[in-house]
Amino acid sequence: MAGKIRNIVLSSRPGLFAYVSSLLFYVASNFRARFSRKFTVGRNISCVNGGRIGLHHRTDILLKNSKIIIEGGDLLIGITYGYFDGGGIHSGMDACRVHLSNGTLYTFGNVSIYPGATVLIDGGKISIGDGTRINTRTQLISKQEIKIGRNCMIAQNVLIRDNDGHQLLADGIFQNKTQPVAVGDNVWIGQNATILKGVTVGSGAIIAAGSVVTNNVPEKAVVAGVPAKVVKENIEWKA
C-alpha cells in the first residue's frame, strides 16, 4: 500500500505545512526522509480565492524577493505526468527547478508543471492560465514578462524566453535585450519548439515540433520550420 502513496499535497497554507505533509507521504512510500531549504518558502507563496499548491518535496525551489501567487485553482509542481512518458519520467529523479529572483509566478485555475520542467524568473513575471499543462524538461525563462493563456498544451523540451541573455549591437545600435512574450488560449506547442522574445502566439494556434518562432503567429494557424512560417490556416485541434 505504501508504494501506491503519491508524493502530493494540496494546501492553501504552503511552506512548512506543505513541505512536511509531502515529506510524510515520501517517508511512507520510500522509508527515508530528505530535508531542504524549502522550509523557508512559505512566506513567499500566496494562495487566494481557493487556490492551493501541490509541491513535490524534491522540487528545487528558490524564491528571492519573489512571490508565487495561486488564484482559484491547483498549481501542481513536479507531480503529474504527460502523455506517452512510458515510465521514463520519475518525479523523484526528474525534479522541477523553480528559481525566482525579484520576480512573480502567477497562476489562475488548475495548472500543472510536470517533473523535470524549469521556471527561471529574474526581475520578470510569468502568468499561466487555467487548464494549461507544461511538460517535462520545458524551460520558461523571463526577465520581463511571459503570458501563457488557458488550456495550452506545451510538450517536452520546449523553450520559451523573453530575453536574449546578452546585449546585441547591430549597426552601432544596441537592440532591445528583452521583449514580452504572449501565448493565447488553447495553443499547442510541439516538442523541442522554441519561442523567442517579442512573439505573440494567437489563440488556437499550433507550433510544430522543432520550430523556432521569431515572429507573431496568427490565430488558428500552424507554423513550422526554422524560422517558423505559416503552413496551414483556419485549423482546429483538441487534446
Q: Locate cell 494567437: which residue?
A: 202
Mean pLDDT of 200-213: 98
Higher-confidence position of 236 and 171: 236
Q: Is the pLDDT of residue 90 over 90?
A: no
pLDDT value, residue 23: 66
Inside any domain, residue 148: no
| Domain match, 133 and 163 both | no
**For residue range 187-197, what is the model confidence (pLDDT) as tens digits?**
999 999 999 99
| Domain match, 44 and 75 both | yes
pLDDT value, residue 36: 41
Inside any domain, residue 181: yes
35 pLDDT band (50/70/90 cuts)? very low
Q: Is the pLDDT of residue 43 over 90?
A: no
Among the residue ranges 42-51, 81-90, 174-183, 223-232, the one predicted with the least confidence is 81-90
Overall domain count for the chain:
2
Look up the domain containing 219 and give its range. 156-239
Which cell is 188 given? 499547442
Inside any domain, residue 36: yes
Q: Is the pLDDT of residue 8 over 60?
A: no
Mean pLDDT of 4-13: 53
Inside any domain, residue 147: no
Mean pLDDT of 2-20: 56
Inside any domain, residue 186: yes
3-class DSSP state of 26: helix
Nearest to 8 by CA among 62, 78, 65, 101: 78
Which cell is 6 given? 503519491
Q: Give 163-178 as a 3 state SS string.
A: ECCCCCEECCEECCCE
| Domain match, 99 and 176 both | no
| Domain match, 233 and 134 both | no
Look at strands 133-134 and 169-170 and give their pairing. Answer: unpaired
Among the residue ranges 22-26, 181-185, 227-231, the one predicted with the least confidence is 22-26
Inside any domain, residue 101: yes
**Of 142, 175, 199, the domain-final residue:** 142
Among the residue ranges 41-55, 63-77, 147-161, 209-223, the one predicted with the least confidence is 41-55
Strands, E assignment, 102-199 = 104-108, 111-113, 118-122, 125-128, 133-134, 139-142, 145-148, 153-154, 159-161, 169-170, 173-174, 181-183, 188-189, 194-195
| Domain match, 135 and 207 both | no
pTM: 0.82
What's at 121, amino acid-wise?
Answer: I
199 pLDDT band (50/70/90 cuts)? very high
What's at 59, amino acid-wise?
Answer: T
Higher-confidence position of 95 and 43: 95
Q: Is the pLDDT of residue 37 over 50?
A: no
| Domain match, 115 and 163 both | no
Quick check: 158 and 139 in contact, CB under 8 A? yes
| Domain match, 118 and 162 both | no
In whole numbers, what is the pLDDT of the chain averaged over residues?
84
| Domain match, 227 and 191 both | yes
Among the residue ranges 17-21, 200-204, 231-235, the one predicted with the least confidence is 17-21
Q: Locate cell 481557493: which residue?
A: 50
| CATH for 210 | 2.160.10.10
| Domain match, 25 and 134 both | yes
Dist CA 35 CA 184 (whole Å): 39
Using alpha carbons, list the distances in angstroms from residue 92 to 8, 30, 159, 167, 211.
12, 11, 23, 37, 30
pLDDT value, residue 142: 97
Mean pLDDT of 22-37: 52
| Domain match, 132 and 171 both | no
Nearest to 105 by CA among 57, 155, 55: 55
Mean pLDDT of 111-123: 95
Q: Is the pLDDT of residue 9 over 60?
A: no
| Cβ neighbourhood burial of 36 (10 Å; 0-12, 13-18, 19+) | middle
Dist CA 74 CA 40 (whole Å): 21
**Of 142, 173, 205, the domain-final residue:** 142
Mean pLDDT of 58-66: 89
